[in-house]
Amino acid sequence: MSLGLFITGTDTEVGKTVVTAALAAALAKRGLRVGVMKPAESGCPSLEGRLMPQDALFLKAMSGCTAPLELINPYAFVPPLTPALAAEMAGVAIEIDHIRACYQQLAATHDIVLVEGAGGLLAPLTAELSMHDLATALDLPLLVVARNILGVINHTALTVTVARQTVPVVGIVLNNNHPTDQQAEQTNAESLRRWGRAPLLGQFPYIPSLERDQLSSLGEAIDIDGLLSSLRG
């Protein structure tokens, strides 16, 4: 039976894609067939008349997932806005049943499927549904990516508390997406262990640019054995 994990963040631009890709590369290095998914992506450039979802393409390349892009990224939009607004502007109705069907096809051919949300947990997916609702509909536990800045304790604890209303939270990854030199940034990992309300599974250092080999090594910063154990129940 395939395992699944939904990766959310405490905000947008916190490093969800890097963490998802690094985890995917590390899992693939262990011999697992890793599927990846970015159900809705905004801010996509166009190439020869086709939208190119950059996050989804990056996940596909770094994971080695050979599934069609249409399964990995069912919805792509040009405006760099939350998916609900981008879809409205494009005149597209995001159907959660279609996303679920794409996920199920990926799950049927992979050992584990990593689903990266857009924005934070309550970012709107449709006029009525959020990323939290999507994780709930897919029945997936959550991994929370937190940006290492002042205020991360509150942002993370809020995200975990809301998520646990309907889905389990397996842990937190603290990501340094800029050079770290402030006192809060140097103490946030220990603070999250105390007050994050979920296990801290790893911390990513700041790395300006990444290749696939670096990503698999970076992914080992996550307690993968503990993560897999939690997913397997």
Of 40, 198, 26, the residue nearest 112 (C-alpha)? 26
**CB-CB contact of 24 with 34 (8 Å):** yes
**For every residue of the chain, which 3-state class applies, written as one string?**
CCEEEEEEECCCCCCHHHHHHHHHHHHHHCCCCEEEECCEECCCCEECCEECCHHHHHHHHHHCCCCCHHHHCCEECCCCCCHHHHHHHHCCCCCHHHHHHHHHHHHHHCCEEEEEEEEECCCECCCCCEHHHHHHHHCCCEEEEEECCCCHHHHHHHHHHHHCCCCCEEEEEEECCCCCCCHHHHHHHHHHHHHCCCCEEEEECCCCCCCHHHHHHHHCCCCHHHHHHHHHC
**CB-CB contact of 148 with 9 (8 Å):** no
Active site residues: 38
How many CB atoms sit inside 10 A of residue 128's CB?
9
Angle at 4 between CA 106 and CA 204, to 5 degrees: 115
